[in-house]
Amino acid sequence: MMSDGSAIVIGGSLVGLMAARVLADYFEQVTIIERDRFPAGPEPRAGVPQARHLHVLLARGNQIMQRLFPGLDAELDAAGVSRVELGYDTAIYTRGGWGPRFHSGIFTRSISRALLEHTVRARLLAYGRVSILEGWQADGLIAHPDGLRVTGVTIQARGGSAETRTLDAALVVDASGRASRAPEWLQSLGYDAPQETIINAFLGYASRWYEKPAGFATFWKDLLIASLPPYNARGGGLWEVEDGRWVVTLAGANRDYPPTDEAGFMDFARSLPVPDLYDAIRQARPLGEIYGYRRTENRWRHYERLSRWPEGFAVLGDAACGFNPIYGQGMTVGALQVEMLESCLRTGDLPGVGWRFQKGMRAAVQAAWLMATGEDFRYPATEGGRPDLASRLVQRYVDRFQVLLADDTKMARAFLEVTNLMQPPESLFRPAFAWRVLRGGSLDGRRAAAHRAAG
């Protein structure tokens, strides 16, 4: 199906860019509306404040981006972005202790969020059919008089001018992030707003960038220290990104927010279950201030549950489902949704594409949602529900799994595949693993006791 019409994407962040790439195969013209003006280089900008914080690109997200943008891999090599083999170039500390060092064959990139978006945007704009209207904000949907079909958007200039315009489109895709106004826009057309599920572990971030010290020698490029709930709600990550910089994020759930002053930040780093991150940054030169962030709740707007939906409209990315960022899933789940949109475009008629996407979206987000919220439920202060018996049993299973994988690279690889959204969580329950896990209880008890002491 190739339409001679045009498509509009609201929001020019990563999900909007990926969506535009897919739409360019199906529409003559694709216009991205972005309220920010993009910086000339790979810098954070107002609409994506999270770019100042550690952004983990899961291996599945990396694969999808490479497929959508052929040549991206070579360009990242040329830009000096490290290719990272998970398990071999990474040091990951979890409730099971340090993971084993081994060749997993699972690769991703250790890259700043700003450079990733900058590079993807430049590659996208090489597609002649795509253009970006920068400095314009989408303000509402335009619909056919019968209200059954979205036919475009109204936009307003930012930065002092009161100029407004209308743009027509056969398909409007909302990728405007957590601040999306789609619920309100749907209501103004006579549709219901979606129900929302919000699960909040009250997690905060504090992040700082450093110059990697000359002569600093460890096997790892990326270091991750997971929190150990419920005993210890603190964790941290240090990623070596392009230009010899480290991006360091400290995170605390249960409202145990990491401070953004120098002394408090270092004290928090020192309080992590193992000293490696603190030892690294105390010898490193900071490259700027410490940035805080607290809007981290899991929020799923259930568009898939609505009984009516206008033709010509779709909502995806954080606008539909945002995650606690600590699990590094947002960009990758966005990429999975873009693949779902692509499959809806490939397999059916254009008017129904938005509704097919919305109905099918659950399949793209469900596994990540269960993993993120399942972990968040371990914190006593989490609001939005409690784990049922099945979830608690799964938590115990996963705890034991993490202990055992320290001595078992098959289990370690399987765990990486699941947390990187390459395999479904069920793959951890295959008989060979289940047998080991169910026999491993006493070991689990010893490690849990050690963590209680550390916490």
Ligand X SMILES: Cc1cc2nc3c(=O)[nH]c(=O)nc-3n(C[C@H](O)[C@H](O)[C@H](O)COP(=O)(O)OP(=O)(O)OC[C@H]3O[C@@H](n4cnc5c(N)ncnc54)[C@H](O)[C@@H]3O)c2cc1C
Cβ proximity to ligand X: between 132 and 437 the closer is 132
In whole angstroms, what is the distance from residue 358 CA to residue 197 CA?
16
Whole-number minimum distance, CB 447 to ligand X, in Å? Answer: 26
Whole-number minimum distance, CB 44 to ligand X, in Å? Answer: 11
Whole-number minimum distance, CB 291 to ligand X, in Å? Answer: 9
Pairing of strands 107-110, 82-85: antiparallel
Look at the block and give the residue holding tokens 């030892």.
279
Whole-number minimum distance, CB 18 to ligand X, in Å? Answer: 8
Cβ proximity to ligand X: between 334 and 447 the closer is 334
Cβ proximity to ligand X: between 78 and 162 the closer is 162
- The alpha carbon dihedral of 269, 272, 278, 280 has a sign of negative
Here the tokens at position 360 are 């099918």
Here the tokens at position 109 are 């990139």
Whole-number minimum distance, CB 428 to ligand X, in Å? Answer: 21
Cβ proximity to ligand X: between 151 and 337 the closer is 337
Cβ neighbours, 10 Å, residue 88: 17
Task: Please compute, for residue 160, the number of CA atoms within 13 A of its CA located in the half-sphere on the CB side.
Answer: 0
Pairing of strands 27-34, 90-94: unpaired
Whole-number minimum distance, CB 119 to ligand X, in Å? Answer: 15
Whole-number minimum distance, CB 180 to ligand X, in Å? Answer: 7
Residues in the chain: 455
Cβ proximity to ligand X: between 332 and 402 the closer is 332
In whole angstroms, what is the distance from residue 424 CA to residue 27 CA?
33
R_g (Cα) of the chain, nearest Å = 22
Cβ proximity to ligand X: between 104 and 249 the closer is 249
- Using a 10 angstrom Cβ sphere, with 0-12 exposed, 13-18 middle and 19 or more buried, the burial of residue 46 is exposed
In whole angstroms, what is the distance from residue 145 CA to residue 446 CA?
67
Q: CA-CA distances (angstroms) from residue 412 to 268, 402, 432, 436?
A: 29, 8, 13, 13
Whole-number minimum distance, CB 14 to ligand X, in Å? Answer: 5
* C-beta of residue 407 within 8 angstroms of C-beta of residue 97: no
Cβ proximity to ligand X: between 323 and 433 the closer is 323
Contact residues for ligand X, defined by CB under 6 A: 10-16, 33-36, 47-48, 50, 53-56, 137-138, 175-179, 205, 293, 317-319, 325, 328-332, 334
Cβ proximity to ligand X: between 29 and 399 the closer is 29
Cβ proximity to ligand X: between 16 and 87 the closer is 16
Q: CA-CA distances (angstroms) from residue 401 to 65, 284, 377, 422?
A: 30, 35, 18, 18
In whole angstroms, what is the distance from residue 210 CA to residue 286 CA?
4
Whole-number minimum distance, CB 161 to ligand X, in Å? Answer: 15
In whole angstroms, what is the distance from residue 31 CA to residue 127 CA?
12
Cβ proximity to ligand X: between 240 and 399 the closer is 240
Whole-number minimum distance, CB 205 to ligand X, in Å? Answer: 5
In whole angstroms, what is the distance from residue 116 CA to residue 58 CA?
13
SS3 per-residue string spanning 14-60: HHHHHHHHHHCCCEEEEEEEECCCCCCCCCCCCCCHHHHCCCCCCHH
* C-beta of residue 251 within 8 angstroms of C-beta of residue 234: yes
Cβ proximity to ligand X: between 30 and 403 the closer is 30
Cβ proximity to ligand X: between 316 and 405 the closer is 316
In whole angstroms, what is the distance from residue 309 CA to residue 150 CA?
10
Whole-number minimum distance, CB 48 to ligand X, in Å? Answer: 5
* C-beta of residue 287 within 8 angstroms of C-beta of residue 242: no
Whole-number minimum distance, CB 148 to ligand X, in Å? Answer: 23
